[in-house]
Structure 1
Amino acid sequence: MHCIRVVIADRHPIVRQGLADVLGTERDFRLVACCGDGPSCIEAIRLFVPEIAIVDLPDIGGSEILAVTRAEKLRTRLVFFTGYIHDSDIASLASGGAYSVISKDIEPKLLLQILRQVASNHRLAPPTPYELEPAQETTKAKATHAPLTDRERQIMRLVSEGLPNKEIARRLNVTDGTIKVHLHHIFQKLEVSNRTVLATLAISQIHELDAPQEDRREASFEASPGTRSTVADKIRSVRNR
């Protein structure tokens, strides 16, 4: 089995341990280094060339790490792990080649799914500061929605792969305008307002999207209230050990 090699960079030992615990539950991830600052993260990336580096913002210095990986043509994909980010930082990270920005309140299962997407070279657009608030819009979409058609589920799946409308239209042999109409209907049905939230929801429900409509029960898009936990919860549990 191919293992996705990961470097974690965060100045807080509790955060590093919490992320390590989440990754340690999965056989397809291998943690190769935990770093407490930017220079040691850069050194680890140069040494191990992992598929993914999870980097804390703003403490570690994401822009500098992006600049190094781009200048030295390192294959490591950078994922930023934070609670809040300014608009100017989003523009800088996106232009620098960031693959995703993830909220520290994300559920562990969804974090792992996003990391697998990134390891497969799917770039997930960095969200706005509003979208980094604890999954309010995604949770709303999970709670109630009108059933999606098979075509809408196809489009939702392709959006989760980071494809633009033009490429989705090419794959489905339709016009760009048709894709825009479908997306408008999807946004209305799921009560979401942008592609980033839609992609996050799609990744969390990937198996339902793959199933043909006649072979599946209507998906609820709802997490079990008693079992839902976040990476922040995992970090808190480490603190209480």
Structure 2
Amino acid sequence: MIRVLLADDEAMIRAGVRAILDADPQIEVVAEAGDGRQAVDLSLGHRPDVVLLDIRMPRMDGLAALVELRRLVPGAGVLMLTTFGEDDHIARALGQGASGFLLKSGDPRELLAGVHAVAEGAAYLSPHVARWVIAEFGDGRAMKAAAAREQVAALTPRERDVLALVGEGLSNAQIARRLHLVEGTVKAHVSTILTRLGARNRVQVAILAHEAGLLD
């Protein structure tokens, strides 16, 4: 069962999102929060697998709550809820450890897919956010590609294999099956990759894998 905490200051949004989540028998909404401070406090008590976190909330906004959650509840994946026009927050949230982004106006199937992916340790970006990330990180592409290849060259061949599959959005369990490894071994490889590449989360290393051409 995937334990989810839902945080949004609009009750109607929370009700709609919860209705979608409740339709999945593998998901349980363990708590709801109306602001970022409450989301952090409830997460400390409930220890959810995934926190669905709105970016704009009173008392403590989603970005500030994200920082607190990564520090206090590192085992929880944080999936940010955003709207069109909030692209300026995406880069900040990626740098602060967000596991993914969903558009509030997106397809309900994206919500369920995102929750499952993040619960399994993978990253998830809605198509709109993915296009923004590609465009944003595409500027100065040649220089970034060269720098990414230099960073990736420091990894072992097996670590590069794992990095490429992280770039495809696979979870540790899926990578283990693909490479015929024990899941714990994959987890250790991912931890080493994060350290060697100076990345804070799987989204950052996935972007680096794309820039280095590992998925071409």
**TM-score bucket (shorter structure):** 0.5 to 0.7
Q: How does 1:172-211 map to 2 (within 5 A)?
A: 179-180=215-216
Separation in 2 of the partners of 1:130 and 1:164?
A: 12
> Deviations along 1:77-123, whole A, 9 cap, x unmatched?
11111212544411210111001110112211222112101100002
Change (3 A) 1:26 1:86: closer
In structure 2, give the amino acid aligned to 1:39. R
Select the structure with the greater relative contact order (CA < 8 A; seq sep ≥ 6).
1
Secondary structure at the aligned position of 1:81 is classed as strand
Identify the residue that residue 154 of structure 2 maps to in structure 1. Answer: none
Q: CA deviation at 1:128?
A: 6.6
Identify the residue that residue 78 of structure 1 maps to in structure 2. Answer: 78
Identify the residue that residue 67 of structure 1 maps to in structure 2. Answer: 67
Secondary structure at the aligned position of 1:160 is classed as coil
Identify the residue that residue 5 of structure 1 maps to in structure 2. Answer: 3
Q: CA deviation at 1:164?
A: 4.2
Identify the residue that residue 91 of structure 1 maps to in structure 2. Answer: 91
Q: CA deviation at 1:179?
A: 4.0
Change (3 A) 1:126 1:111: closer
Structure 2 gap ranges (5+): 133-163, 171-202
- 1:22 partnered with 2:20: yes
Separation in 1 of the partners of 2:85 and 2:36?
A: 18
Identify the residue that residue 106 of structure 1 maps to in structure 2. Answer: 106
Separation in 2 of the partners of 1:126 and 1:13?
A: 23
Separation in 1 of the partners of 2:53 and 2:207?
A: 30
Identify the residue that residue 218 of structure 1 maps to in structure 2. Answer: none
In structure 2, give the amino acid aligned to 1:5. R
Percent sequence identity over aligned pairs: 21
Q: CA deviation at 1:67?
A: 1.4
Q: CA deviation at 1:156?
A: 9.8
Change (3 A) 1:78 1:164: closer
Q: Which has the larger radius of gyration?
A: 1
TM-score, normalised to structure 2, is: 0.59
> Deviations along 1:167-216, whole A, 9 cap, x unmatched?
79xxxxxxx76842xxxxxxxxxxxxxxxxxxxxxxxxxxxxxxxxxxxx
Aligned length: 149
Q: Which of residues 150, 159, 168 is equivalent to 1:159?
A: 168
